[in-house]
C-alpha cells in the first residue's frame, strides 16, 4: 500500500496578516501535491488564512489549546474556539511548551482529549533532550511521554504522533536515519501494545527537527516515517513546498 505522507508546518510565534501572501503561495503550490498538508499558524491569523485558501489540499491548524472548552482562563484559547475560526487540527505537547511552560504529559493528554472531543485530530509531540539522549534514555523518555499523553479514545484518524528530538529542533542537527527509524519503530511497538495491531500500523508518526528540502527525501524514505513536522523551513513557501515535493513517490 502506498503511503500518503503528512507534512505539517509549525509557524510557532511567527506570522502576521502580512504573511497571508506566503500562505496563499503555499496553498497554490499544494494543489499539485498528493500529501496531506497542514500549516499550524498563530491563532491570530487562523481565521484570515482559512478564508484565503482555495486549494482544498492545504488545511490550517493551530499550535496549542486549553483543555477546557470555555471558562475563566484569561488569555487562553480552547480547541472549540480554534475550530470555530477555521483550525482543522491542533498540535499539543510541543517540547517548547513542555519545557518553557512546564506542561506535563497529563496536561497534554487532557488537551488532546479536548481536541478530539471537539472533532479535530490532535498532533501529539514527544522527544528527548540532548542530555537524555546522551544518557541512553531516548526510548524510555519518548515511550513514557507517549503513553501518558495519549487519550484513551485516540486512534489512527484522530491522532497523529510527532517524534521531535529536542536537540534537533532549530539546530540543524538531525539524528541518523537509523536512529530516526528506530525511535519510530519503538513508538509503533508501544502503540501496538496500547491500541492494537491495526491502529499501530496506520497511525501516522511524523519526524520533526531540522527537516529541510535537502534532507527530507531520505527521511521520508524510512519505513516507519509517515511525514514531517517542519518548523523554520515552513515559514518560506519555497522551502515548505520543496520539502513536500520530496514526499511525492
CB of 54 to ligand PEP, least distance (A): 26
Count interface residues toward ligand PEP (CB under 6 A): 13
Q: Is 94 an active-site residue?
A: yes
Residue 210 found at the interface with ligand PEP (CB under 6 A): yes
Residue 93 found at the interface with ligand PEP (CB under 6 A): no
Residue 122 found at the interface with ligand PEP (CB under 6 A): no
CB of 198 to ligand PEP, least distance (A): 28
Measured from the CB atom, the residue of 163 and 200 that comes closer to ligand PEP is: 163
Rounded Cα–Cα distance for residues 124 and 114 (Å) = 13
Stretch that binds ligand PEP, among 133-141, 162-170, 195-203, 215-223 (CB under 6 A): 162-170
CB of 108 to ligand PEP, least distance (A): 15
Residue 209 found at the interface with ligand PEP (CB under 6 A): yes
Residue 33 found at the interface with ligand PEP (CB under 6 A): no
Q: Active-site residue numbers?
A: 94, 164
Name the site residues for ligand PEP (rule: CB under 6 A): 10, 164, 169-170, 208-211, 229-233
Amino acid at each position: 500500500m502506498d503511503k500518503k505522507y503528512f507534512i505539517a508546518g509549525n509557524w510557532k510565534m511567527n506570522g502576521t496578516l502580512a504573511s497571508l501572501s506566503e500562505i496563499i503561495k503555499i496553498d497554490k503550490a499544494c494543489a499539485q501535491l498528493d500529501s496531506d498538508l497542514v500549516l499550524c499558524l498563530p491563532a491570530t491569523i487562523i481565521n484570515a488564512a482559512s478564508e484565503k485558501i482555495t486549494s482544498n489540499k492545504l488545511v490550517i491548524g493551530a499550535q496549542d489549546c486549553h483543555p477546557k472548552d470555555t471558562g475563566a482562563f484569561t488569555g487562553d484559547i480552547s480547541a472549540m474556539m480554534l475550530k470555530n475560526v477555521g483550525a482543522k487540527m491542533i498540535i499539543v505537547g510541543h517540547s517548547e511548551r513542555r519545557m518553557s511552560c512546564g506542561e506535563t504529559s497529563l496536561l497534554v493528554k487532557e488537551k488532546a482529549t479536548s481536541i478530539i472531543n471537539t472533532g479535530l485530530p490532535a498532533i501529539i509531540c514527544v522527544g528527548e533532550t540532548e542530555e537524555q539522549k546522551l544518557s541512553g534514555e531516548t526510548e524510555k523518555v519518548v515511550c513514557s511521554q507517549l503513553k501518558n499523553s495519549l487519550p484513551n479514545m485516540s486512534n489512527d484518524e484522530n491522532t497523529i504522533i510527532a517524534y521531535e528530538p529536542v536537540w534537533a529542533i532549530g539546530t540543524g542537527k538531525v539524528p541518523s536515519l537509523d536512529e530516526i527509524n528506530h525511535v519510530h519503530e519503538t513508538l509503533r511497538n508501544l502503540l501496538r501494545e496500547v491500541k492494537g495491531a491495526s491502529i499501530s500500523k496506520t497511525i501516522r508518526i511524523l519526524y520533526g527537527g531540522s527537516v529541510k528540502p535537502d534532507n527530507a527525501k531520505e527521511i521520508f524514505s524510512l519505513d516507519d516515517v509517515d511525514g514531517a513536522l517542519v518548523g523554520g523551513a515552513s515559514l518560506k513557501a519555497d522551502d515548505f513546498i520543496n520539502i513536500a515535493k520530496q514526499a511525492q513517490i
